[in-house]
Structure 1
Amino acid sequence: MIARIQEIAASVPPTGDLAADTDRLFRHYGREITREHVPRAAAEAKRLALRFGVDSEQAEVAALLHDIGGVFRRSEMVELCERLGFAVEPEERQVPLLLHAKLSVMLAQVWQDITDPAVLQAVRYHTTLHAQATPLDQVVFLADKLEWDQGGIPPYHADLSAALEDGLDAGTRWMLGWMATPAAKLLIPHPDLRAAWAAYGISTAETDR
């Protein structure tokens, strides 16, 4: 394992209390916005999981871990991922922050000894989702969006909540559809997001203009 990953993992030794550990990690690296966002997303993930018959412990753990890769500097993310053997997409080179999910997976494994592949997959795809999303993936993805990290209530909150009345798939489809509109202001669509759009039959005409 490369020294930088070991350095981050050793900087905040785990205590067995994941919520407290992630709080300490974000505080240690001065990620105050993320520190406030993550426990809200974890609580929402647990609520959604209980509502839709998904494992609530897995959902909460994945949501607590989903943004830990954000403690790395954006300027080092591409090189770190390359050294770890992760494929780096052209879109990720343009917007390195898109790599934080891959780094979250690695840090979850090294720092907290997380081995559950379902949890790690939900962490990996929490930003974009992907073409073969599981219910757990959907829950963590939607929790991240309902309790976003941009301050205040998301402009789509009421509409997404209404869509969820028709089920988890309906809510997921609605959120992905919104992300394909100009309102989302995406810097660049990630290939995994494009794959999710295709899987849900969502037109990307507006984003491709």
Structure 2
Amino acid sequence: MRELFKKYTNNFELSVDLEHDVVTFLKSNYFTNTAEHSCKVGKEAERLAHSFNSNGDVAKAAGLLHDISVVFPNNERAVVVEKLGLNVFDAERIFPLIAHQRISRVMAEEIFNIQDEEILSAIECHTTLKRESSKIDQIVFVADKIEWDQDGTPPYINQIKSQLEFSIGHAAYAYIDYLWARKKTLKVVHPWLAEAHKDLKRKLAF
């Protein structure tokens, strides 16, 4: 495990119960609200996976782990990405919050011993999605948007739920297109989001 993760894992030991481990990790680092959000996303991802004939255990695991990098303050995240030896996108330097998805992937590997590429991929793109996204990627992406971590009802929720009647890809596109229509008001447009929008628009023939 890398040195920069060790201070968050004092007295932390893995069990055979991933949900218990994620909750313990987050609560021990004083992120109770994130622990609750992560459990909701994991549950919703599992439900969506069953609805769309995908692996519920894989989807739930990615949902549980997606926000574990919350332990790093926003203003440190671009630096953490660099320390992990990854390329930092300009959008992540301007708005470091969105770098957390890529940090969470590495933490899932090194702290929680996750080796399943489906899980890691879904964690890595749960905020922005990406080009050539898998069904599991899309499931965790949509689950995170349904179980958002803000107060009130998500303003885009009706668009997502109506498109779930067609496919998980349609639902993912509904959220991305919601943002795309408002991109001038966004702090940044991550290149992965732009690529996902173009990719899904082509595949779904919008």
* Same fold at TM > 0.5: yes
Amino acid at match of 2:176: L
After superposing on structure 2, the runs of 4+ consecutive aligned residues of structure 1 that deviate more than 4 Å are none
CA contact (8 A) 2:8 2:29 kept: no
CA distance in 2, matches of 1:117, 1:30: 29
How far the C-alpha of 1:11 sits from its partner, in A, is: 4.8
**1:41/1:82 CA distance change after superposition, 3 Å:** same
Deviation digits for residues 138-173 of structure 1 (CA, Å, limit 9, x no counterpart): 000000000000123212222211111112222122
Corresponding residue for residue 133 of structure 1 = 133
Aligned Cα root-mean-square deviation (Å) = 1.8
Structure 1: 5+ residue stretches without partners = 203-209
Structure 1 segment 44-63 matched on structure 2, within 5 A: 44-63=44-63
How far the C-alpha of 1:114 sits from its partner, in A, is: 0.3
- Fraction of identical pairs, as percent: 32
Corresponding residue for residue 100 of structure 1 = 100
Q: Which moved more, 1:166-175 or 1:42-51?
A: 166-175
Amino acid at match of 2:158: A
Structure 1 segment 40-79 matched on structure 2, within 5 A: 40-79=40-79
CA distance in 2, matches of 1:168, 1:184: 26
Corresponding residue for residue 39 of structure 1 = 39
Structure 2: 5+ residue stretches without partners = none
Q: What's the TM-score once normalised by structure 1's chain length?
A: 0.90
Structure 1 segment 1-209 matched on structure 2, within 5 A: 1-182=1-182, 186-201=186-201
Q: What's the TM-score once normalised by structure 2's chain length?
A: 0.91
Between Structure 1 and Structure 2, how many residues are aligned? 202
CA distance in 2, matches of 1:100, 1:82: 12
**1:109/1:10 CA distance change after superposition, 3 Å:** farther
Amino acid at match of 1:110: E
**1:6/1:43 CA distance change after superposition, 3 Å:** same
CA contact (8 A) 1:10 1:111 kept: no
